[in-house]
Structure 1
């Protein structure tokens, strides 16, 4: 594709629209298409898969459009921020299915671009772009949750390799992942300055995962154990004992993306759907056609207004992030706000359902009603994952408002 430049974005839009239309798999146009929901995460399991999402991802990856702004030399699209924005607009307008949604794209890839060696970039980034490897995150530990820097998983230098022993907890989808990016302790005499950032193949002997069942009934998180796990020295990202700087940077990307997911009204934010229409269905309308319950109507309207203002703020922060070559501490603000609004929305959803919002399973409750109550329970984790609300408020106090000395 030609380099259209900022002055000819409409030409780029036309070519992008034509390419998307010509390359979108026919199977995905069928509203009754059978699609494996896990396929969007990619990974070894889906290499050579006939699933239409895998086909769509392969076509987009060949263009570099699974990561449109990443450099072309690593498999990305090499697009400008303006071109990427146009591409995303066309993807949304055409209601094209998401081809790749992964921690590799959202979190690991950006920090590899910033901190990895050229050899590491060439080894890992193209596979992330193509969705060949599914990644998970090894940060929190049973004894180091909010105090992440208190982690104890040991990484010892054995000459020609590292030896890792310890455990992680709340590792999202670790039982489905191919690789893990993990924080490990390489110096026990220091806290923050004794942490390193390591990449580990999950098929390595000594790596074990155990799913954790949540109150909602799902098991997206796992315990992950490392017992005498041998890791090549080339898998260390950045300098030895310099992992804390990378960890903080990656958390900014994570919080930014979690906030975007919550702000969309689904995903981590609990039950999706038009809250106003659902409330009308269960509570009825008054003589003017508005929701009969005026108090509920007011609170739904307030939540919707806050969400719209939030989404505009997210777009502004993302634009500032691109201009400054990375996210800032402002991601803690939007993460805190997103968690709060998502939990409020989930509670409003259950309230809107009335007695039908009490269902868990069995006859008398529709699948949508059951999803709503389970989504409400799941939303309780919004203020924990990606950094607790309390931790994010501390970050805002220190790094945005300057109220305390920096860590």
Structure 2
């Protein structure tokens, strides 16, 4: 059974921090544990270490104080629960023998009482049972006089009452510790899994649900891994334009890449992906405009070869004037020959004065040259 959280009486203080930057003032117990858990997870993700001193208070009383190293493999709550359990084992109240001698008890209760000292005050240290009566002096012809000494009476507490008070206090402390430990155990059982644990076991959708602020991290990781299957599931649960863009690129859905590009922030990486999509859809002029900012040599080579395959040799030559790439220069020359051959054999194929056999052969040759031109430099372009 857990107990209600009392922010005034259950507090935790985190001091002597190394590798951490947490608040050092006392704070509510649950909030302190949550900060420690988050710090442990963060250090785990960074593969770093840290340490701190944890001091727990219950009604301004120190329950325990221990120094721990982070990150830990389990949960902070489990560690604290173990500490509380060990604390309870050593907190058993001491047994007190009851007094069996009534007279001894009475004698102790009626022991002499301290009296304030001063010019007119004295301390009476003689036990009442053995106190002798003061000697009285009688003077003939004088009246009998008695001196009344002032005294202060203090409240008297018997050993039996004191023993009962200590026993009750010890039981209350043990009960509080038990409830405190039980609460920690229940909280640990009900605590959600950490972000790192969910990512490690591949529960990406669950990680996005429990840690919505880190959904972008999940998307980037799945994109970097080219994990199309999980990225599709993640997009279904948490639709976002950035995820749609990345997913379209991984699936080579070039029209979708171009379509979603207007809905996302075009970082340098996304500009490269967009330019590649333009190349694959034969929109080379658009790819050239993007590459004016990127100044990518590889992308320039791919665009130049694209122009060659479209028989736009002047634009290809203009790009290669800056690149001075011998392979592209050769592709331009070969492309021109293919284009000339295609024109020549097209005339034969459409010449009615030629025999049917020659026209058919010319048509086959045109198909061969067109295929050769359309795949010219393709091995180089496919690397984009």
Q: Would you say same fold, with TM above 0.5?
A: no
Tell me: higher relative CO, structure 1 or 2? Use CA pairs within 8 A at least 6 residues apart: 1
Q: Please identify the structure whose Cα radius of gyration is greater.
A: 2
TM-score, reference length from structure 2? 0.22
Bigger helix fraction: 2
TM-score, reference length from structure 1? 0.21
